[in-house]
Structure 1
Amino acid sequence: MDNSELILSNIFNRKSVRNFTDKKVDKADLLTIIKAGMSAPSALNLQPWEFIVFDDMETIDWMVNLHDYSKMFKTATAGIVVCGNMDKTIEGFEDFWIQDCSAATQNILLAIEALNLGGVWLGIYPIDERCKKLIDYFNLPLNIIPFAVIALGHPSNVEKSKNKWDDKKLHWNKW
């Protein structure tokens, strides 16, 4: 398989994994995953992202009750909080940090897939209650806003990717 086939295969095979084995994620893999996140594009290359990586059981156990959809942390062995640094935004266009952190989060998910790990994106921002819980737990500075949490680990079973192609959503030249 050539490079383009590998990259497209990784994109097409990415899936949300919610159940994990108890095997720990290697720290080198976690660093590779964060490096992928930091390789995302950003408006004016301001790179407004910050990352909190955790693999301690206290934090993982706390994450289980973060919100109604965070139960996959019952089996996760690591997690990542993607945050936006409001000191790295564009005056008058501050909300571009959301797109930038989305791109970083997607890169993280693709790196997780490439490393034969599993992960799932848990939405945080713009839900104030979720943001506040993370701000308090991690003692985040005022300029840092939690954007997303990713639960990850070694998949406990083989998940199948979903074919999301829908030709009705493709428009050529005009609507």
Structure 2
Amino acid sequence: MNASYATVIAPLTVRIERTLPGPIERVWAYLTESEKRRQWLAAGDMELKEGGSVEHVFRNSELTGHDGTPPPKYAAHAGESRMRGRITACEPPRLLAYDWGEGEGEATSHVRFELIPRGDAVQLILVHSRLPDREQMLSVAGGWHTHLGILLDKLEGREPAGFWDTHTRLEAEYEKIIP
């Protein structure tokens, strides 16, 4: 299996790693600062302390210059969608973790970012756990793979591929590799 793909490391838990250009403070800023985070994932305020609130304002159709139309199952996310959460760990600039989906009427999942300096690069380890089912695992794996690809492209000064086309292709690939 391609090392760049997310892997299942426990029931309803995926892990994905990326090597990003550093320094670590730059990558941390792209995880935590709204204006930088909106370029690859979602805007929104973040109280950087344990128990602090997190808001993500997703506009996936605006992430790249050629995003296309979302597939029918994601039509509700063609415009803006929001996610709230609560920070469970914050150790700048190495660790950020939060509950994902707080107050949305369903069980929350959990996202953990760990940053490790590797010379001029930074190893990012992302673990998304407590996912409700396989369908969500496929969506999350494809989503993180796509979003982290956009982050890498932004950090390296490249124009990223279209979000929805990439996500649709990757979700289909994950359908074949995630049990």
More strand by share: 2
Query: Which of the two has greater helix per residue?
Result: 1
Q: If the length of structure 1 is used for normalisation, what is the TM-score? A: 0.31
Greater relative CO, 1 or 2 (CA 8 Å, sep 6+): 1
Bigger Rg over Cα: 1
TM-score, with length taken from structure 2: 0.30
